[in-house]
Amino acid sequence: MATLSSLSEKGDDNGKPPQEAVALAAKKEGLGWIEWLMGWFYLAYEMLFQRIVASNVPNPMLLPPINDLTFIVTGSTSGIGKEIARQLAEAGGHVVMAVRNTKAANDLIKKWQENWSGKGLPLNIEVMELDLLSLESVARFAEAWNARSGRLHALINNAGIFSIGEPQKFSRDGYEEHMQVNHLAPALLSVLLLPSLLRSSPSRIVNVNSVMHNLGFVDPEDMNVTSGKRKFTSMVGYSSSKLAQIMFSSVLNKKLPTEAGINIACVSPGIVHTNVARDLPKIFQAGYQLIPYFIFSPEEGSRSTLFAATDPQLVDYTESLKSEDWPVCAFINHDCRPANPSEEAHNVETASRVWEKTLELIGLPSDAVERLIEGEEVKCRYWASK
């Protein structure tokens, strides 16, 4: 497991110090071939060696006392999210499963309560409906939660999609589905829930990211990938959305003053056996089943997120990054140690443009964060209560 001394480092060589990282071309139109090759190298390395690298991390993850702490976990009816929700609840946390399929969530809770019977107090879990393919649903969820005036100690943006091999699809809001589910909707949720996170300080926003962000490139003026400059593939959609999430999180981290007490981290769960295999061609599904040694189980894949959501060391680490004006937010690797995201993630100019464009797309004013910190009310154009 990571130690306090290990968290004092800024990561491995996968990244650049600020003075080198920001010197990137303003009008860059894609990854250079060296960046592209390195992205594939990091992906292959993680798949082949993640089990060895993370051999020191206990499974299941050992959690600190989290009684009376509240966690919202999106996408918690399957895969990593299901494990995160279950383990947090069994450790004594109050867990809110923010999901599209509320029946599936309630069925899971019933099963977990039965399995937990006799081991302690009943699990403190509830379900709230949230559909990330609808920004109106996101805004409605945030308004309903904030209206409770309850506490929120960690927002875990776990839900995501990777529609491998599928043609380009758009949400009802008009945005490419990978970009909306993996970046735009979590960004809107994070900003709109700031009042509850501020009320519960110290608190955290944890974004489940991916090593595949190393293959991503974001054009802030073409986030839907419809201009024709780049050919859309599911790989382009997924990797770009994950990179956009890191960039947005890094700017949000800088805009939140240290005294606000909200810490932000993106995490890589590793290469995990999840429902993404359902979208693979049959020949690849067969291969996916043949390499279980290399691929993490959902329980193993949940460890880095659980660490980032609960370990007290993260606070000092994120604050040290902020005090040194590090260009990116905290990034926790699958072995629960700090790492540096891709060189492109360090492009401060692009990150600023991604921030501005994201706020425009999700219907928030450019000064939304500042106003929320001051206690003002901010409305999203996708939802306004009567």
* Catalytic annotation, residues: 238
**Cα distances (Å, whole numbers) of residue 311 to 61, 207, 303, 336:** 11, 15, 11, 10
Output the CA torsion sign for 34, 39, 42, 44: negative
**Cα distances (Å, whole numbers) of residue 372 to 202, 204, 218, 360:** 16, 16, 27, 17
Q: Is residue 15 a contact partner of residue 342, using CB atoms and an 8 Å limit?
A: yes
H or E segment to which residue 282 belongs? helix 282-290
Sheet-wide strand order for 125-129? 125-129, 94-99, 70-74, 154-157, 203-208, 262-267, 330-332
Mention every residue, 6+ apart, whose C-beta is less than 8 A from residue 262. Answer: 194, 197, 198, 201, 202, 203, 204, 205, 256
Mention every residue, 6+ apart, whose C-beta is less than 8 A from residue 123. Answer: 89, 90, 95, 109, 112, 113, 116
Instruction: Name the nearest CA neighbour of 91 among 346, 326, 306.
Output: 306
